[in-house]
Amino acid sequence: MTTNAAALERRRRPALTLLVVCAAITLVPVTATGASVAVTDISGDLDTGLSAAQWVVNAFFLTFASFMAITGSLADMFGRRRMFAAGVALFCAAMLVATFAPHISVLVGARVLAGIGAAAATTGGSAVLAQTFDGQARVRAFAFFGTAIGLGLAFGPLIAGVLVTSLGGWRGFFLAAAVVLLPALLASPLLAESRDADAAGVDWAGAVTFTVGLSLFVLGMVQSAELGWGHPLILGAFAAFVVLMAVFTAVERRRARPMFDVSLFARPRFLAICAMPVLLAFGFVALLIVLPPYFMAVDGVSAQYAGLLLVLLTGPTLVVPTVIGSVAGRISQRLLLVATMLLVAVGAAWLTVIEPGSGVLQLAGPMLTIGTGFGISLAILDGAAVSSVEPSRAGMAAGMFNTMRLTGEAVAIALLGALLAAVTQSRLTETMGSGAQAATARLLQGDMAGAVSAAPAGSAPEALVQAAGAAYTDALHIGLWAIAVLSLLGAIAVGALMGGRPAAGAEAADGAAADRESALVD
């Protein structure tokens, strides 16, 4: 190793960089999925409706998805380390505000800021890793990055369940997230800084139209279940989204250095890579949100036990990314991605065995199968996305990919939730009449007692519990079959898109690693 190369390696500090980025990123999925476990307690503590409390989850996903692209581009322009550190700091501060929030509006506002901070930390962290590692080292680094995300997904609901039920409530959950982030924030100045030397300034027109447009789209999706698809607010949000996206596309096509390079979607392999997290949002992330309330309502378990059951689904994400990362160089990405979707399809179809009172052994097989499939994707997708462009635009690629990921998650959660609500309410109408809508809202928040109390006076409680459990289960079965079909179709589509040779840009991205010194700054 030459003197210059040795100096560059010291400035990168690869081991420290990987540790700091992964430690911070672990907390993002913890608070994303874990907050859903705390919604019922938040509603009671702050004396607000469940629909308002649900925005503690929705607000985070809305800004997390919407700000991915702009934070990725800003990272290339102002520095990937700066963006990562700023994101961690904002996320940490938002969690502190959430901890002491006196009113639901303050809590939701804090979650809005937390989503922006999470977007900055995720895109900045991904770009820092892309600049720090090359070749197979990059593959392994992103496998660890995927494992960090898997760790957060695996223990988010469980950690939230423990804190909410026994160790300080929902306020303790948010406080713990802030405290755990402090070491990563303090260590971030030790990481090497890098930026795009050819950045042409902030694309404000593109940033505003895209961020506002995507925010309106996510808003329409998450509110559609409550207001209905024909509500003026929902129709207006979707119409504005279409207009703003058309303006955004026109603006970006005229820029030499666009914030969001839409031409990348003309590359079949990049399109397949970006489609994967959208497909997996239905088969994995949405299940993380809808399964805990089902277990709590139908089986009468605590939030802590519901979180523990989810380890069957998320546990494989702790192991599989590292295993796949060690052999990824010898197995084609096409095969791995198709295997991911097939495993999710099989697992979702198998999970339709779920019934009221289902035991751990009955659930273990299908949930572990889904988790294994998702774990494979964590090992390769982030690295494949940032390697699809030249290193100077790694932040932009990370922003594009993670925008697709988070938008897919928001859409999947909204659509699966709307499906469960529609089917459950339809099944309950015959039993509960006009009380079916209120009962369904309570069921989908894990509150069986509240659902029963919504029934007309004189109804037999035991019969109502049985009817509610059966309706909720029927809805979940339909949702799982829909996920299985979507995943199977996704496997076919991804296999076809990945069939060609890698794009020249992706090959050039890896070959350009030797010139990376010019992009590193003190």
pLDDT tens digits for range 84-140: 999 999 999 999 999 999 999 999 999 999 999 998 998 888 888 878 887 777 767
pLDDT at 509 over 60: no
Q: Across residues 399-407, what is the average pLDDT? A: 76
Q: Token pair of 175, please?
A: 């406080």
Q: Across residues 253-278, what is the average pLDDT? A: 79
Give CATH for domain 8-203+255-521. Answer: 1.20.1250.20
Q: What is the pLDDT of residue 238?
A: 92
CB atoms near residue 49 (< 10 Å): 10
Q: What is the pLDDT of residue 490?
A: 94
**Residue the block writes with tokens 């995300």:** 149
Average the pLDDT over each of 162-176, 192-206, 440-454, 458-472 and give the range with the smallest value.
Answer: 192-206
Q: What is the pLDDT of residue 388?
A: 63
Instruction: State pTM to two decimals.
Output: 0.77
Between residues 517 and 441, the one the model is more confident about: 441
- The residues pairing with 521 across neighbouring beta strands, listed in sequence order, are 193
pLDDT at 7 over 70: no
Q: Is 157 in contact with 33 (CB distance < 8 Å)?
A: yes
3-state SS, residue 193: strand
Q: Is 321 in contact with 378 (CB distance < 8 Å)?
A: yes
Q: What is the pLDDT of residue 389?
A: 64
3-state SS, residue 307: helix
Model confidence band, residue 396 (pLDDT cutoffs 50, 70, 90): low
Q: Is 479 in contact with 420 (CB distance < 8 Å)?
A: yes
Q: Is 282 in contact with 481 (CB distance < 8 Å)?
A: no
* Position 211, amino acid: T
Q: What is the pLDDT of residue 517?
A: 34
Q: What is the pLDDT of residue 394?
A: 62
Sign of CA dihedral 41, 45, 46, 49: positive
- What whole-number distance in Å separates Cα of residue 86 and Cα of residue 189? 11
3-state SS, residue 514: helix
Neighbouring residues of 424: CB distance < 8 A, sequence distance ≥ 6: 440, 443, 444, 471, 472, 474, 475
Output phi, psi for 299, to 5 deg.
Answer: -100, -10
pLDDT at 9 over 60: no
Percent of the chain with pLDDT over 70: 84
pLDDT digits (tens, 9 = 90+) for 308-354: 888 888 888 878 887 887 776 778 888 989 999 999 999 999 999 99
Between residues 318 and 419, the one the model is more confident about: 419
* Length of the chain in terms of residues written: 522
**Residue the block writes with tokens 């990987």:** 18
Q: What is the pLDDT of residue 432?
A: 82
Q: Across residues 265-288, what is the average pLDDT? A: 86
Closest CA to 184 of 419, 25, 310: 25
Using CB atoms within 10 Å of the CB of residue 327, give its burial: 0 to 12 exposed, 13 to 18 middle, 19+ buried. Answer: exposed
Q: What is the pLDDT of residue 51?
A: 67
pLDDT at 445 over 80: no
31-35, 220-224, 240-244 — most confident range: 240-244
Q: What is the pLDDT of residue 61?
A: 79
Q: What is the pLDDT of residue 132?
A: 85
